[in-house]
């Protein structure tokens, strides 16, 4: 296991100020190499904004983000992606008119330049990686289908497969089980557990059954700040978490 | 038969082969007058193809493609104008375009360098190769600059259409306004013939037809190969979901700029070939209607298919030329085309090429009812390209 060795993602005092409103406010967090971290928090706690800041969609006003030793603070999205941060949005985002295989080829092409991509097909190394991803996501039967025709679950798995193809070292997942059936959620949990170790994963999720299935460490955000960090049991018994966000009902 | 129908790639190959064979065999069937006409329509075919590349594959609706066509045409025409006998009849051994002499100040020196303030711009065009090279390079450079500005700012959809439309109209005004250098409204006429190694390409000769046809065939095949590369695939991915492509590590703007520029270079080359076949360049090339017409050709032929868009352009223009001989249809034709465009956009978003594809799907399903697949699964890469009408 690669876990607990290096720091894959180091966030230090990260702040974004939207004209006086600080959606993320002096937030710090370290995610270890190969770790699977779950990010919890009520609506408006700043979870998605935090992902926007890490992936370059939104520019921070203070603080820094490091991917391993590389400072990726406020870089262009495609540069952060190339450095090794993969991101899955809440709404499935795949290339609808390309086939599943073409989606994976586009994701797995490690060469970003236009001119170096003026050749056909993929090399043996790329083909091997593609087969690995197909095996991981179990999309072998639908490879020739346009991605727009996939079911909701298949679409999400394709997107996860694309992040793996991309070679992302740190993967940001925003509610990967939203809108999924019980069976689909189960398969997604399995898939994420298989990705754990090879990839460092940061997940925003509300489905507590799912969180129990996958989480080792949980970070709780509240009003843009770090509220608590620890194991499931620690978080469940943490008084500040109960007061601030879970209400009297506790974690379900 | 079954295996043959099932193999879409081979069918597509066959379609290209038949089309190219048809184009090359054309001189066997028609006279010089129609051959010259068809040569012009082949040029329009290249324009349809260029639109399909940017609209269908990149999702960029360029309503100002006439800008690049026009620039290509003027660059080539400037060189050919200086080769024309009309430029050498003015009592000078150095060529000067006739319209410059007609409009010259009484005491102006009869020299291309300084007969008027802008005439020096014509100096390098005394070399024919310079005009021909600039016909491709100038549109390429302009498209690169315009594209860089538009796409790095992440402007997309209808805004690109508005900007390109405004640009072509602006350029048209500038060209008409720069009358001393461009001959304004009248454009450049009485051009000489393209001369390569002592051979003069008379526009009504079969050789000239083959020059244009070869240019079109090369562009068609090269573009078809281009979209089949990984870069072509990545381009289509930026059309489907630019954000996803960005988060996979692609500089989306770089891909858009590249293919926008290639599309412009094709239009510039088309402009050059048009001038060789038609012997004039005119500001009407930058009229709004012309740029819109190109989009209509591509839509009717099928913007998701390079060959479809190319055939669409040739077909519409051939029909137009045939019907406009009758006086009644001369004006009515525009109405028919407009109506056709609306019908296609509403009911056949993939144009004629899509129609052919759907028919093949039906045939396939009938031939092997047991193994019938959902229609869309059998489309080729070219046929699966953009269907979003608003983009």
Q: How does the average pLDDT of chain A come out, rounded?
A: 89
Residue B150 contacts residue B253 (beta carbons within 8 Å) = no
Q: Are A172 and A87 in contact (CB under 8 A)?
A: yes
pLDDT digits 0-9 by tens, B148-183: 999 999 999 899 999 999 999 999 999 999 999 999
Residue A11's beta-bridge partner residues? A29, A65
Domain ranges of chain A: 7-249
Q: What is the pLDDT of residue B4?
A: 42
Q: Are B250 and B241 in contact (CB under 8 A)?
A: no
Instruction: List the A62-67 sheet strands across, edge first.
Output: A21-32, A7-18, A62-67, A70-71
- Percentage of residues of chain B with pLDDT beyond 70: 92
With cut-offs at 50, 70 and 90, classify the pLDDT of residue B387: very low
- Provide the pLDDT for residue B369: 61
Whether the CB-CB separation of A77 and A56 falls below 8 Å is answered with yes
Put simply, whether A156 touches B (Cβ < 8 Å) is no
Q: In this predicted structure, what is the pLDDT of residue A177?
A: 87
Task: Determine how many CB atoms are found less than 10 A away from the CB of residue A59.
Answer: 11
Work out the angle at residue A197's Cα, subtended by the Cα atoms of residues A193 and A202, and round it to the nearest 5 degrees: 70
DSSP collapsed to 3 states, A133-172: HHHHHCCHHHCCCEHHHCCHHHHHHHHHHHHHHCCCCEEE
A160 and A180 in contact (C-beta within 8 Å)?
no
Q: What ranges do the domains of chain B cover?
A: 2-378
pLDDT for the residue numbered B90? 62
pLDDT tens digits for range B281-327: 999 999 999 999 999 999 999 999 999 999 999 999 998 888 877 77
- Residues 6 or more apart whose Cβ sits within 8 Å of residue B145: none
Tokens of B124: 């390098």
Residue B386 has pLDDT above 50, yes or no: no
- In angstroms, what separates the C-alpha of B320 from chain A's closest C-alpha? 34
A98 closest CB neighbour out of B233, B243, B377: B233
Q: Which of A102, A118, A146 is facing B376, going by the closest CB pair?
A: A146
Structure confidence by residue, pLDDT tens digits, B205-254: 999 999 999 999 999 999 999 999 999 999 999 999 999 999 999 999 99
Contact A33, A3 (CB under 8 A): yes
Look at A96 and B371; give whichever has higher pLDDT.
Answer: A96
Best of A55, A87, A95 to disrupt the B interface by mutation (most B CBs within 10 Å)?
Answer: A95
Q: Which architecture does CATH list for A7-249?
A: 3-Layer(aba) Sandwich (3.40)
Per the structure block, which two tokens stand in for A195? 């990705």
B275's tokens: 């001038």
End-to-end CA distance of chain A: 31
Per the CB < 8 A criterion, the answer to whether B273 and B45 are in contact is no
Vertex A117 angle, CA A115 and A120, to 5°: 130
Residues of chain A with pLDDT under 50: 1-4, 248-252
Note the pLDDT of residue A241. Answer: 84
Give B-chain residues touching A113 at CB under 8 angstroms: 254
């Amino acid at each position: 296991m690669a876990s607990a060795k290096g720091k894959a993602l180091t966030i230090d005092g990260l702040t974004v100020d939207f004209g006086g409103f600080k959606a993320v406010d002096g937030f710090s967090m370290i995610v270890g190499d190969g770790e699977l971290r779950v990010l919890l928090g009520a609506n408006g706690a700043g979870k998605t904004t935090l992902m926007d800041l890490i992936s370059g969609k939104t520019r921070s006003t203070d603080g820094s983000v490091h991917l391993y030793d590389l400072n990726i603070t406020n870089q262009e999205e495609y540069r952060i992606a190339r450095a090794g941060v993969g991101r899955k949005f809440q709404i499935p985002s795949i290339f609808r008119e390309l086939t599943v295989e073409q989606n994976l080829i586009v994701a797995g092409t490690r060469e970003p330049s236009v001119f170096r991509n003026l050749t056909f097909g993929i090399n043996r190394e790329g083909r091997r990686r593609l087969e690995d991803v197909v095996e991981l996501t179990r999309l072998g039967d639908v490879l020739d289908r346009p991605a727009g025709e996939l079911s909701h679950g298949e679409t999400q798995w394709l997107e996860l497969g694309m992040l793996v193809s991309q070679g992302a070292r740190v993967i940001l997942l925003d509610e990967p089980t939203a809108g999924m059936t019980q069976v689909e959620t189960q398969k997604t949990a399995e898939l994420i557990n298989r990705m754990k170790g090879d990839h460092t994963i940061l997940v925003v999720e509300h489905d507590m059954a799912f969180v129990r299935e996958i989480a080792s460490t949980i970070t709780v955000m509240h009003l843009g700040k770090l509220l608590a960090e620890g194991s499931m049991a620690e978080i469940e018994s943490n008084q500040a978490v109960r007061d601030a966000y879970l209400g009297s009902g506790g974690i379900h | 038969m079954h295996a043959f129908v099932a193999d879409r790639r081979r069918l597509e190959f066959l379609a290209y082969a038949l089309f190219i064979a048809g184009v090359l065999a054309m001189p066997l069937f028609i006279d010089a007058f129609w051959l010259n006409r068809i040569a012009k329509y082949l040029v329009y075919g290249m324009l349809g193809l260029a639109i399909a590349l940017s609209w269908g594959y990149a999702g960029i609706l360029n309503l100002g493609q006439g800008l690049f066509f026009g620039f290509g045409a003027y660059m080539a025409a400037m060189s050919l104008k200086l080769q024309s006998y009309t430029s050498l009849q003015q009592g000078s051994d150095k060529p000067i375009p006739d319209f410059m002499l007609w409009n010259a100040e009484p005491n102006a020196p009869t020299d291309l360098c300084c007969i008027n303030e802008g005439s020096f711009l014509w100096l390098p065009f005394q070399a024919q190769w310079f005009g021909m090279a600039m016909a491709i390079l100038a549109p390429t450079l302009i498209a690169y600059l315009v594209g860089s500005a538009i796409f790095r700012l992440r402007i997309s959809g209808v805004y690109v259409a508005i900007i390109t439309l405004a640009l072509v109209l602006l350029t048209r005004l500038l060209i008409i306004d720069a009358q001393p250098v461009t001959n304004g409204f009248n454009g450049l006429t009485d051009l000489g013939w393209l001369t390569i190694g002592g051979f003069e390409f008379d526009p009504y000769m079969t050789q000239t037809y083959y020059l244009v046809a070869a240019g079109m065939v090369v562009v068609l095949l090269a573009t078809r190969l281009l979209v089949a590369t990984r870069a072509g695939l990545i381009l289509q991915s930026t059309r489907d979901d630019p954000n996803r492509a960005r988060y996979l590590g692609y500089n989306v703007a770089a891909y858009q700029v590249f293919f926008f520029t290639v599309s412009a270079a094709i239009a510039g080359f088309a402009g050059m070939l048009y001038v060789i076949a038609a012997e004039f360049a005119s500001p009407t090339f930058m009229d709004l209607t012309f740029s819109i017409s190109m989009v209509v050709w591509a839509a009717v032929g099928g913007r998701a298919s390079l060959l479809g868009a190319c055939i669409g352009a040739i077909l519409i223009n051939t029909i137009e030329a045939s019907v406009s001989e009758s006086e009644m249809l001369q004006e009515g034709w525009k109405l028919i085309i407009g109506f056709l465009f609306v019908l296609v956009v509403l009911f056949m978003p993939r144009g004629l090429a899509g129609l052919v594809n759907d028919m093949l799907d039906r045939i396939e399903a009938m031939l092997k009812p047991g193994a019938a697949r959902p229609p869309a699964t059998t489309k080729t890469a070219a046929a699966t390209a953009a269907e979003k009408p608003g983009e």
